[in-house]
């Protein structure tokens, strides 16, 4: 993998240095759809306006990178670890002995992360701030290698589903859709399926792990990022057999949509449109299948620092951004088309995150946790009833 990895890293570095994505003059004149590769190797399809947006975004990334490098030079390479902030928390939890400068660092860090972590620093910053480094430090250094060797050749329902999903995970990607890419992704997913048998493997995790592989440089770091994501960042039971956690998240989202975007919620209810038709994939794949990769990773920058509430912010923002269009929709299909067109062309992460954090209103992890507890009993009741009906049908078939 390391040979393929180094080539992939070199290609990404060279691509990051390209100043402009230039469509041909014929394309500019005709305003035709163009295809090009983004920073992480995904083929992007859009019009010339989308290309211009991406050029502007790339320039913002370079400017933001200069800010990060200046801080690295003045405060030290790991300056962002100094505040000892409580990762994934609402506020900053400071030890009494820490000085005001630590609080200033923490406030600076939160703002910087919302503006985006430079791609070259992402692996290091994610690994430290998410808690993955701490989680890895609690086990022997050989843990990942020992695990992958121990489970090699074992066949389970999880491994069979993983093998089925590998070719369907970002098909056409220049590294992921190769024997080497499939093998690396398989080792990460199979390894985790044995680490946590309650989760095992759930469809959707393949897209999450694939994107983690592209960002984190190594399989082992991608594995630990997946572990901290499922064990600490996201709500429990999101990926278990009955997806109870995901069902709870959908109910919480519907409730938040009614509070934060009441006109949209009322209109969609009148159309008998269930928002989970589009949002379930967002929460299971963490937008990896829905948003352009560079926008998804900007959401993940905040996710790994502030926690799962960010998913609600981003999901609400997508609806909020298209409020007027959605209010004019008269068919369920129209709603789906509006949402899918919006996510497909959201090449400017700042457009999404500005709405998410400035126009949705304040939400705390504590508030969302209370909503989850409120919704859990009803979800479990529905799932139990569904299971009883299924068992009854099976008995009748006998």
pLDDT digits (tens, 9 = 90+) for 82-104: 654 444 444 444 444 445 566 67
pLDDT at 78: 86
Strand partners, 43: 37
The arithmetic mean of pLDDT across residues 108-123, rounded, is 93
34 or 103: which leads in pLDDT? 34
Give the angle 95-101-104 at the CA atoms, nearest 5°.
95
Residues 106 and 135 in one domain: no
The arithmetic mean of pLDDT across residues 69-88, rounded, is 74
Tokens 């290091």, residue located? 124
Residues 228 and 288 in one domain: no
pLDDT at 34: 84
Long-range contacts of residues 240-243, Cβ cutoff 8 Å, at least 24 apart: 240/198, 240/199, 240/202, 241/200, 242/383, 242/387, 243/202, 243/284
Tokens 């402009």, residue located? 20
Residue 3 lies in a domain: no
pLDDT at 394: 67
Residue 10 lies in a domain: no
pLDDT at 370: 92
Residues 348 and 284 in one domain: yes
Residues 251 and 374 in one domain: yes
Q: Which of 91-105, 172-186, 274-288, 364-378 has the lowest mean pLDDT?
A: 91-105
Flag whether pLDDT at 305 surpasses 60: yes
Look up residue 34 and give its DSSP letter.
E
* Contact between residue 127 and residue 225 where contact means Cβ atoms under 8 Å apart: yes
Residues 287 and 356 in one domain: yes
> What span, in angstroms and rounded, lies between the C-alpha atoms of 172 and 164?
16
> What span, in angstroms and rounded, lies between the C-alpha atoms of 292 and 373?
33
341 or 28: which leads in pLDDT? 341
Residues 162 and 104 in one domain: no
Residues 248 and 381 in one domain: yes
Residues 115 and 146 in one domain: no
3-state secondary structure 203-246: CCHHHHHHHHHHHHCCHHHHHHHHHHHHHHHCCCCCCCCCCHHH
* Contact between residue 196 and residue 20 where contact means Cβ atoms under 8 Å apart: no
Could you tell me the residue range of the domain that residue 358 belongs to? 244-386
Tell me the pLDDT tens digit for each residue of 202-229. Answer: 999 999 999 999 999 899 999 999 999 9
Residues 155 and 193 in one domain: yes
Residues 254 and 381 in one domain: yes
Q: Which of 343, 261, 256 is nearest to 299 (CA)?
A: 343
> What span, in angstroms and rounded, lies between the C-alpha atoms of 310 and 346?
17
From 209, 233, 257, the end of a domain falls on 233
Residue 12 lies in a domain: no
Residues 251 and 348 in one domain: yes
Our separate counts of H helices and E strands in the chain read 20, 2
Residue 283 lies in a domain: yes
Residues 197 and 287 in one domain: no
pLDDT at 119: 94
Q: Which of 122, 47, 173 is nearest to 298 (CA)?
A: 122
First to last CA, the chain: 50
pLDDT at 55: 86
Residue 17 lies in a domain: no
Flag whether pLDDT at 398 surpasses 80: no
Flag whether pLDDT at 298 surpasses 80: yes
pLDDT at 9: 57
pLDDT band at residue 118, thresholds of 50, 70 and 90? very high
> What span, in angstroms and rounded, lies between the C-alpha atoms of 238 and 281?
12
Query: Please, what is the average pLDDT of the chain?
Result: 87
pLDDT at 105: 74
From 185, 211, 233, the end of a domain falls on 233
273 or 25: which leads in pLDDT? 273
Q: Which of 153, 286, 279 is nearest to 209 (CA)?
A: 286
pLDDT at 100: 58
The arithmetic mean of pLDDT across residues 299-305, rounded, is 97
Number of domains in the chain: 3
Q: What's the CATH code of the domain at 199? A: 1.10.8.270
């Amino acid at each position: 993998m390391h040979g393929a990895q180094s080539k992939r890293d070199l290609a990404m570095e060279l691509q990051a240095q390209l100043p402009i994505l230039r469509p041909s003059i014929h394309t500019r004149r005709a305003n035709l759809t163009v295809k090009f590769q983004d920073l992480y190797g995904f083929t992007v399809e859009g019009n010339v306006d989308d290309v211009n947006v991406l050029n502007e975004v790339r320039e913002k990334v370079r400017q933001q990178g200069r800010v990060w490098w200046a801080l690295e030079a003045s405060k030290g390479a790991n300056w962002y670890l100094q505040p000892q902030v409580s990762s994934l928390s609402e506020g900053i939890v400071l030890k009494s002995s820490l000085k005001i400068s630590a609080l200033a660092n923490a406030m600076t860090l939160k703002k910087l992360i919302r503006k985006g972590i430079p791609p070259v620093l992402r692996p290091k910053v994610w690994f430290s701030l998410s808690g993955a480094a701490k989680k890895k430090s609690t086990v022997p250094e050989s843990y990942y290698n020992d695990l992958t060797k121990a489970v090699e050749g074992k066949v389970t329902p999880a491994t069979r589903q993983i093998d089925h999903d590998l070719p369907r995970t970002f098909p056409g990607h220049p590294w992921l859709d190769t024997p080497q890419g499939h093998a690396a992704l398989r080792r990460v997913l199979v390894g985790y399926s044995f680490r946590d048998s309650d989760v095992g493997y759930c469809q959707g995790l393949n897209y999450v792990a694939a994107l983690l592989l592209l960002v984190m440089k190594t399989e082992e770091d991608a594995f630990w990022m997946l572990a901290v994501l499922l064990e600490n960042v996201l709500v429990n039971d999101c990926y278990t057999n009955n997806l109870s956690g995901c069902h709870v998240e959908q109910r919480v989202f519907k409730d938040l949509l009614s509070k934060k975007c009441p006109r949209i919620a009322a209109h969609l209810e009148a159309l008998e449109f269930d928002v989970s038709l589009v949002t379930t994939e967002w929460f299971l794949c963490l937008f990896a299948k829905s948003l352009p990769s560079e926008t998804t990773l900007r959401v993940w920058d905040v996710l790994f620092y502030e926690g799962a509430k960010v998913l609600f912010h981003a999901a609400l923002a997508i609806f909020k951004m298209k409020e007027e269009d959605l209010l004019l929709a008269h068919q369920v299909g129209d709603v789906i088309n509006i949402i899918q067109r919006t996510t497909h062309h959201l090449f400017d992460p700042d457009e999404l995150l500005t709405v998410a954090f400035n126009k949705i209103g304040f939400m705390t992890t504590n508030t969302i946790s209370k909503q989850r507890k409120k919704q859990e009993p009803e979800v479990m009741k529905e799932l139990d009833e569904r299971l009883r009906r299924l068992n009854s049908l099976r008995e009748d078939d006998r």
